Amino acid sequence: MRAAEAACRARKLRLTPARAFVLETLLESHQAMTAYEVLDRLAGAGLGSQPPVAYRALDFLVANGLAHRIERLGAFVACTHGGAEHAAAFLVCRRCRRVAETALPRAMRGLIDEAAAGGFAVETVVVEAEGLCDACREAGA
């Protein structure tokens, strides 16, 4: 959180109350949250009750690398890197929706270069591994 605030100051981004609240909410949740779950929290805090409020805050956080959208779940998680420039991969538990962020394998370069050779200009890469986390595996599939 501190890191995020610092990153926003450094980049002259406005971490408004709603945005800060959403980021804190994501940081405290240990699972991916849908926009509507976030919206519930916002409503509870009196910061807005309509979908666009949640989507706007989330869009801001994602655009500035403070949060990530997990495509597989249509849900969001706080970034664990405090917003520094980075490419990430995710381990997504299909049972509890817990998400671990890891470094994007260097080997992905190969894919990008190959694509470029074929005329395709890669801008972003989504890597999401779905499976079962430790706790869920022990608890039974």
Tokens matching residue 30: 């240990």
Report in angstroms the alpha-carbon separations of 54 from 2, 16, 42: 22, 13, 8
Task: Name the binder of 79 from a copy of itself, DNA, Zn ion, none, CB < 5-8 A by kind.
Answer: Zn ion
To DNA, the closest distance from the beta carbon of 11 in angstroms equals 11
Mask of contacts with DNA, 20-39, x by CB under 7 A? --------------xxx---
To Zn ion, the closest distance from the beta carbon of 41 in angstroms equals 21
Rounded to an integer, what distance in angstroms lies between the CA atom of residue 13 and that of residue 59?
13
Rounded to an integer, what distance in angstroms lies between the CA atom of residue 14 and that of residue 61?
11
Rounded to an integer, what distance in angstroms lies between the CA atom of residue 36 and that of residue 34?
5
Q: Residues touching DNA: how many (CB under 7 A)?
A: 22
Residues at the interface with a copy of itself (CB under 8 A): 71-72, 89, 91, 93-94, 100, 102, 105-108, 110-112, 114-115, 118-134, 137
Residues at the interface with Zn ion (CB under 5 A): 79, 81, 88, 93, 95-96, 98, 133, 136
CA atoms within 13 A on the CB side of 44: 9
Task: Name the binder of 126 from DNA, a copy of itself, Zn ion, none, CB < 5-8 A by kind.
Answer: a copy of itself
